[in-house]
Amino acid sequence: MKNNEYSNTSTGTDTLVSTSENTDFEVRSLDAVCVNESELKHPFWFNLKYLFAGIVFGILLVKSEVISWFRIQEMFRLQSFHMYGVIGSAVLVGMISVWAIKRFNIRTIHGEKITFHSKRFNKGNVYGGLIFGFGWALTGACPGPLFAQIGTGALAISVTLLSAIAGTWVYGYLRPRLPH
């Protein structure tokens, strides 16, 4: 399939400014985590593939014990190599994969071009990073593990998840007044 059948509004080297004609894209890319502008029209159930990917990822989180509060405490007390091994090897495999996708121009299963987005530094990376670090050590969980922990039957963690959603909302509310 030809690439020009799909009109991606974004390319790998896009900056936030160059896409200003599309305000929706601009708002979403305020933090450049979620800027996937696929123009393909798929039936709703195509999203089930992400559900299955999530199930596999959730099992991995549980079986690698990275959702364990105890493992997080060990990590921050330098009492175990486990977490460093998991995250380090995951990053290494991720790096090689991204390199290979770029090098060999690998496309999606639908023939679409795979795009990468550069992140631009802002002070939030530091302030927000520290704040998240505090929360990570308290709850022993980042956002992904929160979902997995609830799945393992730790139902009280649903309160933590709701509180994390509230924290996200308050950030959105205060955003204009925070240093970036």
Partner 1 sequence: MESILETLRQPWPWYVAGPLIGLTVPLLLILGNKSFGISSSLRHVCAACFPANIPFFKYEWRKEVWNLFFVSGILMGGILSTLFLGGNEPVAIDASLRQELAAYGVTDVSSLVPVDLFNFANLFTAQGFLLMVVGGFLVGFGTRYAGGCTSGHAIMGLSNLQLPSFIATCCFMIGGFIMANLILPYILSL
Could you say which residues in the range 31-90 bind partner 1, by CB under 8 A?
A: 31-38, 46-77, 79-83, 85-90
Report d(CA 97, CA 93) in Å as an integer: 6
Report d(CA 81, CA 83) in Å as an integer: 6
Tell me whether residue 18 or residue 125 sits nearer to partner 1 (CB atom).
125
| Residue 28 C-beta: closest distance to partner 1, Å | 5
What string of DSSP letters covers 9-73? S--TT--SGGGTT-HHHHHHTTSTT----------GGGGHHHHHHHHHHHHHHHHTTTT-HHHHH
What three-state secondary structure class fits 6? coil
- Residues numbered 100 to 159 that lie near partner 1 (CB under 8 A) are 100-101, 106, 108-110, 112-122, 124-144, 146-157, 159
Of 7, 103, 172, 177, the residue at the interface with partner 1 (CB under 8 A) is 172
- Residues numbered 8 to 27 that lie near partner 1 (CB under 8 A) are 24, 27
| Residue 179 C-beta: closest distance to partner 1, Å | 10
| Residue 86 C-beta: closest distance to partner 1, Å | 4
Count of residues engaged in binding partner 1, rule: CB under 8 A:
129
3 is a contact residue toward partner 1 (CB under 8 A) = no
Report d(CA 152, CA 67) in Å as an integer: 10
Report d(CA 35, CA 115) in Å as an integer: 10
| Residue 113 C-beta: closest distance to partner 1, Å | 8
Tell me whether residue 15 or residue 114 sits nearer to partner 1 (CB atom).
114
Structure token pair of residue 160: 């933590």
